[in-house]
Amino acid sequence: MSETAPPLHPASIEEQLLAALGTLLPPPPGASAATQALLQGYLGAVRVHPAQVTALQAELLRELAILWSSAAANPSPADPADPWSVPFFALARDQHRILQAWTERLIALLDLPPAPRRAARFALRRWVEAADPANRLATNPMALAAALGSGGTSLARGLANLRADLEEGRIAMSAPGAFEPGRALAITPGAVVHENAIAQMIRYAPLTPKVGARPLLMVPPFINKYYVLDLRPANSFVRFALEQGLQVFMVSWRNATPALAGASWEDYLRLGVLEALDVTNALCATRAANVLGYCVGGTLAACAATVDAAAGRRRWHSLTLLATLLDFSDPGEVSVYVDEDYVAACERDAERGCLVPGARLAAAFASLRARELVWHFVQHRYLLGETPRPFDLLHWNNDATNLPGRLYAWYLRACYLENRLREPGRERLLGQPVDFGSLRLPAYVLAARDDHIVPWRSAYAGARLLGRPPRFVLGESGHVAGVVNPPAPGRRGWWGNGGALPADPAAWLDAALHRDGSWWHDWAAWIAPLAGRRVPAPVSPGSPAHPVIEPAPGRYVRESARAAADAHQSQPKE
């Protein structure tokens, strides 16, 4: 006789949820430093502005007292169409709104330098977002209504979703199983024509009878996977480039295995960018290629270009940088994670041969937009028991990658902590000085206005480091949506100027013209003459020296972070 499952109890569900979130959402790096900055700022305000702090506290208590007395004496009638209008839930929601507004006034009172102020604001925002009553079963009327209406089935589904996410080590943001590379995503036809221990390289099949003789090599970020540039056919930047008659190649980074934990930034330069560039030029019988880099892939590509410039090698014809930092003076919200203590800990991990788990990186980035990328799914996936809808960008966002500990530690210190790439000759890579001013080739730089990872003014500052003024374009939206913005009616617009880049980015923006629609067409018009003469499209992707290894998208992009962390593969080839 089978045992009857114990009934679900709200308190038990809350306990399980809180315990699980501690596993799924570990405190992000820098969280303790952010809290310390907040505490120091508050104590400083108490010391310097005691009367203002006292007045601010009294103002909060007065607003809460008015709310509570009004709710007790004159409760508003509930609207059947609005579950939050029930007096108990309305009180919880309005109390949270008062606290949220009060924290903004508190931050304005703190006398802190820009970086600690940003950290303090981040700490308060994390607290405010987590304290939203919608995140708790007892104060979420929609979750309670769903539980009552389904006889508890919604809660059972939510707990099942929670357990599934615990097994995967991440919150599922898109319908599980709806996508995978090579099926629905990353399906642009092509072939892997080169690989080493760090990366594969894909050559895509042409979509036009004639193509530009000079190829385009794309270098995506090694955080997450390349197919952000090749999602579905309707929003694939790769496919768009092919439709313009370009020959397109793509670096596909390997999900780092334990054997790759010692791989360095220079290994990624040599094996990921420069080796791919050599193969690209060899397959197309060209001396120089056009290269496009996105996010940290752009930083890596620009570093590789300076190495070649210093060595007198002319393998680069043009450079496109999408949402890329070269000057890390203001690296955006990511800076709240990066301080000396955290970087030193990463360096100690690197010395022990540790990988940086993809799940940790994904959780850290999600915490920067916790309302949309964490708590939304807590409410809908766990409390309401819903399955998220299929969403290509969120599936890609969930498809995390491990990083070599050595690479990660160097990147944090050299770029985020010390900003060494900005100063000509301060950093040497592969034996050559890094000097972005040595890059006197045509360049196209895209920034995104609402980018919280690469602030557009910081991307603008990096553009001004180049030795030849680039075409600078500012797209609407954020770090991903501002880049993945295919031409279609009603799409996000962009600003362009076409002139010089003054020191003040605000002056550039004041003189820029806003245009509706995607920036993709502007880039296509810019790169068309750089692609060279039109030649018949190649029939075969490979050559005797570089034969086809396997069809696109290849093995590397399919390997999960968890599987890679458990694998034992060879070290990078010398």
So which residues are the catalytic ones?
A: 295
Strand partners, 494: 475, 515
Name the strand (E) or helix (H) holding 14.
helix 10-24
Q: For residue 12, give every residue at least 6 positions away whose Cβ sits within 8 Å of its Cβ, in sequence order, or none.
A: none
Write 491-498 long-range contacts (CB < 8 A, 24+). 491/517, 491/518, 492/518, 493/517, 494/518, 494/519, 494/522, 496/471, 496/472, 496/522, 497/472, 498/471
Cβ burial, residue 468 (10 Å; 0-12/13-18/19+): exposed
Q: For residue 372, give every residue at least 6 positions away whose Cβ sits within 8 Å of its Cβ, in sequence order, or none.
A: none
Q: Which two tokens stand for residue 502?
A: 């003054």
Residue 374 exposure: Cα atoms within 13 Å on the Cβ side: 24
Name the strand (E) or helix (H) holding 294.
strand 289-294
Distances (CA, A) of 301 to 153, 481, 527: 51, 22, 17
Q: What is the DSSP string of 505-552?
A: HHHHHHHPEEESS-THHHHHHHHGGGG-SEEEPPS-S--SSS---EET
Strand partners, 184: 180
Q: Distance between terminal CA atoms of the chain?
A: 64
What is the residue whose two structure tokens read 């709240």?
336
In this structure, is the dihedral angle defined by the CA atoms of residues 201, 258, 367 and 387, taken in order, positive or negative? positive
Distances (CA, A) of 352 to 4, 198, 304, 346, 406: 49, 20, 28, 10, 10
The β-bridge relationship of strands 216-219 and 289-294 is: parallel
Nearest Cα to 208, choosing from 240, 242, 185, 166?
242
- Rounded to an integer, what distance in angstroms lies between the CA atom of residue 381 and that of residue 164? 11
Phi first, then psi: give them for residue 2, nearest 5 degrees: -75, 150
> Apex CA 204: angle with CA 391 and CA 325, to 5°?
65
Q: Residue 192 has what DSSP assignment?
A: E
- Rounded to an integer, what distance in angstroms lies between the CA atom of residue 275 and that of residue 277? 5
The residue type of 5 is A
